[in-house]
Amino acid sequence: MQRSDSALPMTLQRVNQAAQGDFVATLGGVVEHSPWVAEQVAELRPFDSVWSLHAAMFDRIRRATREQQLALIRLHPQLAGREASEGTLTDASNAEQARLGLLSLSRPDHQRLQQLNDAYSDRFGFPFITAVRLHKGIASIFDELERRLGHGADAELAENVRQIGEVLRGRLARLFGTPLGWLSTHVLDSVAGAPAAGMAFAISVRDGSTWERVGQGVTNDQGRTDRPVLVDAMMTRNVYQLEFQVGAYFRDRGVPLAALPFLDQVPVRFGIDDPDLHYHVPLLCTPWTYSTYRGS
Amino acid sequence: MQRSDSALPMTLQRVNQAAQGDFVATLGGVVEHSPWVAEQVAELRPFDSVWSLHAAMFDRIRRATREQQLALIRLHPQLAGREASEGTLTDASNAEQARLGLLSLSRPDHQRLQQLNDAYSDRFGFPFITAVRLHKGIASIFDELERRLGHGADAELAENVRQIGEVLRGRLARLFGTPLGWLSTHVLDSVAGAPAAGMAFAISVRDGSTWERVGQGVTNDQGRTDRPVLVDAMMTRNVYQLEFQVGAYFRDRGVPLAALPFLDQVPVRFGIDDPDLHYHVPLLCTPWTYSTYRGS
Amino acid sequence: MQRSDSALPMTLQRVNQAAQGDFVATLGGVVEHSPWVAEQVAELRPFDSVWSLHAAMFDRIRRATREQQLALIRLHPQLAGREASEGTLTDASNAEQARLGLLSLSRPDHQRLQQLNDAYSDRFGFPFITAVRLHKGIASIFDELERRLGHGADAELAENVRQIGEVLRGRLARLFGTPLGWLSTHVLDSVAGAPAAGMAFAISVRDGSTWERVGQGVTNDQGRTDRPVLVDAMMTRNVYQLEFQVGAYFRDRGVPLAALPFLDQVPVRFGIDDPDLHYHVPLLCTPWTYSTYRGS
Amino acid sequence: MQRSDSALPMTLQRVNQAAQGDFVATLGGVVEHSPWVAEQVAELRPFDSVWSLHAAMFDRIRRATREQQLALIRLHPQLAGREASEGTLTDASNAEQARLGLLSLSRPDHQRLQQLNDAYSDRFGFPFITAVRLHKGIASIFDELERRLGHGADAELAENVRQIGEVLRGRLARLFGTPLGWLSTHVLDSVAGAPAAGMAFAISVRDGSTWERVGQGVTNDQGRTDRPVLVDAMMTRNVYQLEFQVGAYFRDRGVPLAALPFLDQVPVRFGIDDPDLHYHVPLLCTPWTYSTYRGS
């Protein structure tokens, strides 16, 4: 199997079919110096999406003991720290820190970052980790550092674990050439004041002047879906349309409707401009009204 | 020209092209014993819809002097009153009152209606008029009579004029074989907190598995449309879809949007179960959220 | 009685109690050269608000015959026209046109206005009327003139009548020293998909850290109120709070509620920044959700 | 220290101040036969709420290794199983299963439950766990069992862990005499299409005809709050009012507002009928509109 620095993206099929050793060789590096994460999920193959692979790997990290988590955190380099100066960053870390200019900071910014990093390490006994991909510049990293310096050690341990999950998400997406984002929905029944469970829906993508159906599902007890509505290669820069079976949902629950209901199949059309982001598109409805919005 | 009691519905084309005398002969009877209303609108031909014809005729009634309006009101029969007993109702009145069973009331209901009618006439000096088409039974007529007995004479004069307009709407619809209802919309820009003026939209009707565009327009300064979105023969028992150009609207106003906007063409799909009713389908929107509902 | 150009505002009490002649002397001038409007409403006294007085006067204008309306329109001066040049504007017109700088336009603007005015008069046979109070400058008057030049004569007759109503509203407000605006509401029941009729509400104004109740009411069959919620002296620059009895409304209609309902008394708090404007504050609700907005 | 079966509820102060051994003696039993959970969180004292104590204990369970979690799951008795027949249930389990009548099922129900339980154990190698408190009767337990039988082993391991967390929540609430529920909020800025970060709010409880402020906060980067808005003893059966500083929020972000903004302090008033439930009360807003609802 090829490594992530090869020209062609890795495919899910190849990692699903790889020998255990090749699997670990391919994925061992996506969590900083910690091939054990890949080793522990090898037995869970096949994965049906990069998103599922991420979920499994991150689950292992979250479920690790406090000591394992601390050890993992301590394997991460400081932002623009010693490893960067000495050129001993992993390729992945190097690329991530370079993107934001962290490897070529102005002297005052470099000093300030050093001071904040040190204050953080002194206070908590482990380094500050953040997914640089989610930052637009050094300013928001300063903000985050200062804010997190005010937290407790337990909260920061948990926050660092979350950040490692985000870093992992970015590295897997780059390795497999898939987008980072996903689409979720959430349907609320405003007659009952409760999640709308069991509402069928379909999702289509615009294809010229027509629509191609790319998925369908039914809401679960929380009015959500067990898996993302769109993920991986289905998540493209395009216009999508969700169609919710609002009429059938209320009819099944005995809510009186007109013979030809006012609302029956409710389309919600929206553009995904950046497939690397999470899009949450909820629906609040009665048989007579609905609202939708870009949620979070 | 044929009269309204003929088998075939009248057509707008025929009344538009009729000689003045024929026009009045055809339409003279739709306002109780008052051909002057038809006479005054003959010169405004051609009408592009039954709805426009109604608007013109009703405008003449509203614009009549107080004395003319009082005279017109006094030409109307009491509900289930003397003319009904004596069989001297106009054909139109007879059909309307028969539909609700007003000509075959139980004795107690008949007495109660008589007492309320008399109380009303005594109090205001003119008969109580209501569009029986909008009632579901004698109970709601009793309710309305009791409620209106509490008003002032001026308010009741105006209310009777409105009811004459509704009666007129029903008679014209029956004469021309068109539905009574219409579709309107109203768009509010929730970023500006003001009507969304100049938003383009289209309206399509479902035709099997495709959509046929049947109209389009642009919102006016009030975020509404100058004429109904659907009216006359376009108003059918079917599923319709409005498409609002929300993206273009906000782009034109300088509101920042993504290159591929989250909301661009916003579809609102709804069923018209009863084309004899008014459907009001508003849209409240920002570039990131919208809501719609059956309004009034 | 004093004229409107006196220092002190007129009071409603005084016009309600005035002799017929004094009443007409006071109000005769508020409609351009047309004391007949005041004469016709004198018998309707007492008025309980300036808003009611306006409604009565404007009703007489709307109900006037086409010929009377045309005559009234022709009594109005052209904007920045001959009467302005010759100094023969009524005091009221003079003040209104001066406010917008219409009496001291640049030469090109004056010429353009003259040309558009003339085009309008040539096309329709009557002058263009607009309530200059609703304009922010000459540009929007040009816009309106060009837009209205594209209409039909009947529509423009009706539009001029509406504009006369707006001019009248401004003059009455100035005469009595009351604001021009008013507050309305509209409640929709999103469970039933219909207006919420019979919902009680109260309106309070902020008074330091407490609230003073200044009104209350019940929605009518259209989910609206027969009269404005606030008008005249009640309409001040202040923070108001509507409280809707949403819980009682749904309980009365048999909609199941918790013993302690999620929504019961629903407060909607909003600022009235400009009491000369119309504020429309609707409520869309179920027992579990509501939305409100500045409507129109 | 007293045990949980004493008459008086335990207090947070007492467990915060207890010696390590007493702490474990008191809390060791709330997770089935697993005092290690209590042992591991003893060092994190003091806890500022029962909710925080629950979060810490559940965090230890989630973070346990797969083997530890499996062992913990296997310590749980089958619903209405052998331990119930033999009278060897823990006091806590006994009370929970008795409440729903699981210890006195009809013979057919008992057989069906036994069969489903066995099928589940055979399939996954560990018993089915559910928080019986969240069920209304045996029917919904059958539903859940059948649904979960269709899942994969990994999903069911995770689901059982979540159910143990819910069981734990119920036992802690009973031990400390606090409600199980909590209040959360989420604010979305519909102008930006993003979470409203940094919006200040306050929460008050109705006290007769006045309001007593019981909390305040500022939304975080996700437009949510780091901790519940209400929890523990603050969560009572009462009417509450959130007040969001919508005006200040938009002003700080440079969105143009009126000098006296239309929306400034936005009150959202709602009843908490059952303090053992989670109440989620979001706000979607622009400077001109907002909506709120009972979310999930």
- Kind and range of the H or E run holding B84: helix B82-86
C293/B193 touch (CB, cutoff 8 Å), yes or no: yes
pLDDT band at A95 (very low <50, low <70, confident <90, very high): confident
- Residue B210: closest C-alpha in chain A: A210
Contact indicator for D175, D4 with CB cutoff of 8 Å:
yes
Q: Which of B188, B190, B246, B262 to mutate to test the interface with D (most CBs of D within 10 A)?
A: B190
d(CA A80, CA A132): 11
Whether residue A135 has pLDDT greater than 90: no
Partner-chain residue, chosen from B56, B63, B296, that has the shortest CB–CB distance to C63? B63
Q: Chain D: give the shortest CA distance to residue A116, in Å.
A: 21
Residue recorded with tokens 């749980």 = D76
B80 dihedral zone (left: phi>0; alpha: psi -120 to 50; beta): left
Q: Is the model more confident about A192 or about D7?
A: A192
pLDDT band at B2 (very low <50, low <70, confident <90, very high): very low
Q: Is the model more confident about D105 or about C186?
A: C186
Chains meeting B at 3+ CB pairs closer than 8 A? A, C, D
Residue numbers in B near A293 (CB within 8 A): 288-290
Q: Rounded mean pLDDT of chain B?
A: 91
What's residue C150's pLDDT?
87
Last residue of a domain, one of D158, D176, D194: D176
C271/D264 touch (CB, cutoff 8 Å), yes or no: yes
**One domain, residues D187 and D170:** no
Q: Is the model more confident about B145 or about D154?
A: B145
C292/D291 touch (CB, cutoff 8 Å), yes or no: yes
Q: How many CB atoms lie within 10 A of CB B20?
A: 12
B269/A272 touch (CB, cutoff 8 Å), yes or no: no
Strand-strand pairing, A265-272 and A278-285: unpaired
A57 belongs to a structural domain: yes
d(CA D266, CA D243): 5
Q: Is the model more confident about A83 or about A71?
A: A71
| Residues A62-74, mean pLDDT to the nearest whole number | 90
d(CA A156, CA A121): 11
A169 belongs to a structural domain: yes
Chains meeting A at 3+ CB pairs closer than 8 A? B, C, D
Whether residue A99 has pLDDT greater than 80: no
| Residues A242-249, mean pLDDT to the nearest whole number | 98
D6 belongs to a structural domain: no
Residue numbers in A near C246 (CB within 8 A): none
| Residues B164-168, mean pLDDT to the nearest whole number | 94
Partner-chain residue, chosen from A264, A269, A272, that has the shortest CB–CB distance to B267? A269
Partner-chain residue, chosen from B188, B193, B287, that has the shortest CB–CB distance to D287? B193
**pLDDT by residue (tens digit) across D67-76?**
899 999 999 8
Length of chain D counted residue by residue: 296
The verdict on whether omega for the bond into residue D267 sits within 30 degrees of 0, i.e. cis, is no
Whether residue D32 has pLDDT greater than 80: yes
DSSP D103: G
What's residue B23's pLDDT?
95
| Residues A48-70, mean pLDDT to the nearest whole number | 91
Whether residue C71 has pLDDT greater than 90: yes
Q: Which of B63, B141, B145, B190 to mutate to test the interface with C (most CBs of C within 10 A)?
A: B63
- Residue D62: closest C-alpha in chain A: A63
Q: Is the model more confident about C33 or about C211?
A: C211
Q: In terms of C-beta density within 10 A (0-12 exposed, 13-18 middle, 19 or more buried), how is residue D75 classed? A: middle
Partner-chain residue, chosen from C239, C266, C291, that has the shortest CB–CB distance to D269? C266
**One domain, residues D42 and D115:** yes
d(CA A93, CA A75): 12
| Residues D245-271, mean pLDDT to the nearest whole number | 97
Residue recorded with tokens 């100066």 = A85
What's residue B41's pLDDT?
94
Residue numbers in B near A263 (CB within 8 A): 269-271
Contact indicator for C168, C60 with CB cutoff of 8 Å:
no
What's residue C33's pLDDT?
87
D190/B284 touch (CB, cutoff 8 Å), yes or no: no
Q: Which amino acid is at B7?
A: A
pLDDT band at D140 (very low <50, low <70, confident <90, very high): confident
Residue numbers in D near B287 (CB within 8 A): 193
| Residues D262-267, mean pLDDT to the nearest whole number | 98
B287/D193 touch (CB, cutoff 8 Å), yes or no: yes
D273/C288 touch (CB, cutoff 8 Å), yes or no: no
**One domain, residues A166 and A195:** no
Please give the structure tokens belonging to residue D210.
């006045």
Q: Lowest mean pLDDT of A60-74, A115-129, B185-199, D77-91, name the range.
A: D77-91
Catalytic residue among C33, C76, C110, C135: C76
pLDDT band at B108 (very low <50, low <70, confident <90, very high): very high
Q: Is residue D293 less than 8 Å (CB to CB) from chain B?
A: no
Q: Which domain, by its residues, includes D133?
A: 12-176
What's residue D5's pLDDT?
47
Please give the structure tokens belonging to residue C254.
């048999």
Distances (CA, A) of C220 to A135, C196, C223: 54, 8, 5
Partner-chain residue, chosen from A188, A190, A192, that has the shortest CB–CB distance to C190? A190
What's residue D2's pLDDT?
41
B3 belongs to a structural domain: no
**One domain, residues C169 and C37:** yes
C190/A286 touch (CB, cutoff 8 Å), yes or no: yes
Q: Is residue B291 less than 8 Å (CB to CB) from chain D?
A: yes
A1 belongs to a structural domain: no
Partner-chain residue, chosen from A44, A69, A190, that has the shortest CB–CB distance to D293? A190
**One domain, residues C48 and C171:** yes
D293/C289 touch (CB, cutoff 8 Å), yes or no: yes
| Residues B208-222, mean pLDDT to the nearest whole number | 93
- Please report the residues numbered 213 through 272 in chain A whose beta carbons come closer than 8 angstroms to any beta carbon of chain C: 262
B188/C63 touch (CB, cutoff 8 Å), yes or no: no
For residue B292, give the nearest of B216, B201, B179 by alpha carbon.
Answer: B201
Distant-in-sequence, close-in-space partners of A62: CB < 8 Å, separation ≥ 6: A161, A165, D62, D63
**pLDDT by residue (tens digit) across D156-213?**
998 999 999 999 999 999 999 999 999 999 999 999 999 999 999 999 999 998 999 9
C267/D267 touch (CB, cutoff 8 Å), yes or no: yes
Q: How many CB atoms lie within 10 A of CB A169?
A: 23
Secondary structure E strands in chain A: 182-189, 194-195, 200-207, 210-218, 238-245, 265-272, 278-285, 289-293
**One domain, residues D21 and D146:** yes
A6 belongs to a structural domain: no
Q: Which of C237, C262, C272 to mutate to test the interface with D (most CBs of D within 10 A)?
A: C262
Whether residue D148 has pLDDT greater than 80: yes
Q: Is residue C137 less than 8 Å (CB to CB) from chain A?
A: no
pLDDT band at C90 (very low <50, low <70, confident <90, very high): confident
Q: Is residue B204 less than 8 Å (CB to CB) from chain A?
A: no
Q: Chain B: give the shortest CA distance to residue C87, in Å.
A: 34
Per cent of chain A over pLDDT 70 is 97
Q: Is the model more confident about C186 or about D77?
A: C186
Residue recorded with tokens 């003139």 = C145
What's residue B7's pLDDT?
52
**One domain, residues B125 and B144:** yes
**One domain, residues A192 and A145:** no
C193/B294 touch (CB, cutoff 8 Å), yes or no: yes
Whether residue A3 has pLDDT greater than 50: no
Nearest-5° Cα angle at B149, B144 to B153: 120
Residue A279, beta-bridge partner list: A183
**pLDDT by residue (tens digit) across A23-37?**
999 998 899 889 999
Q: Is residue C293 less than 8 Å (CB to CB) from chain A?
A: no
C291/D292 touch (CB, cutoff 8 Å), yes or no: yes
D5 belongs to a structural domain: no
A253 belongs to a structural domain: yes
Chains meeting D at 3+ CB pairs closer than 8 A? A, B, C
Residue recorded with tokens 């768009």 = B187
Instruction: Kindly write down the DSSP assignment for every residue of C88-152, as one continuous string.
Output: ---HHHHHHHHHTTGGG--HHHHHHHHHHHHHHHHHHSS-----GGG-SSHHHHHHHHHHHTTS-
| Residues A228-245, mean pLDDT to the nearest whole number | 96
Q: Could you give the number of structural domains in chain C?
A: 2
Residue numbers in C near A193 (CB within 8 A): 262, 286-289
**One domain, residues C190 and C285:** yes
C294/B193 touch (CB, cutoff 8 Å), yes or no: yes
Q: Rounded mean pLDDT of chain D?
A: 91
**pLDDT by residue (tens digit) across B5-27?**
445 678 999 999 999 999 999 99
What's residue A7's pLDDT?
52
Per cent of chain A over pLDDT 90 is 71
Q: Is residue D198 less than 8 Å (CB to CB) from chain A?
A: no
C286/A262 touch (CB, cutoff 8 Å), yes or no: no
For residue D277, give the nearest of D227, D248, D235, D214 by alpha carbon.
Answer: D235
| Residues A59-63, mean pLDDT to the nearest whole number | 89
Whether residue B78 has pLDDT greater than 70: yes
What's residue D7's pLDDT?
52
- Residue B195: closest C-alpha in chain D: D288
Give the CATH number of the domain where residue B259 resides: 2.60.40.180
Q: Which amino acid is at A210?
A: T
Residue numbers in B near A205 (CB within 8 A): none
Partner-chain residue, chosen from A237, A241, A294, that has the shortest CB–CB distance to B288? A294
Residue numbers in B near C56 (CB within 8 A): 154
Q: Chain A: give the shortest CA distance to residue D245, in Å.
A: 20
Partner-chain residue, chosen from D63, D186, D190, that has the shortest CB–CB distance to A62? D63
Whether residue B83 has pLDDT greater than 80: no
Whether residue D8 has pLDDT greater than 50: yes
**One domain, residues B144 and B117:** yes
Partner-chain residue, chosen from A62, A154, A222, that has the shortest CB–CB distance to D44? A154
Last residue of a domain, one of B144, B176, B208: B176
**pLDDT by residue (tens digit) across A165-208?**
999 999 999 999 999 999 999 999 999 999 999 999 999 999 99
Size of interface A-D (CB pairs under 8 A): 50
Residue numbers in D near C270 (CB within 8 A): 262-263
pLDDT band at C1 (very low <50, low <70, confident <90, very high): very low
**One domain, residues C154 and C199:** no
**One domain, residues B215 and B168:** no
Last residue of a domain, one of A176, A194, A228: A176
What's residue B5's pLDDT?
47
Whether residue C109 has pLDDT greater than 70: yes
Q: Rounded mean pLDDT of chain A?
A: 91
Give the CATH number of the domain where residue B99 resides: 1.10.3330.10
For residue A246, give the nearest of A295, A185, A294 by alpha carbon.
Answer: A185
Q: Chain B: give the shortest CA distance to residue A262, in Å.
A: 4
DSSP D104: G
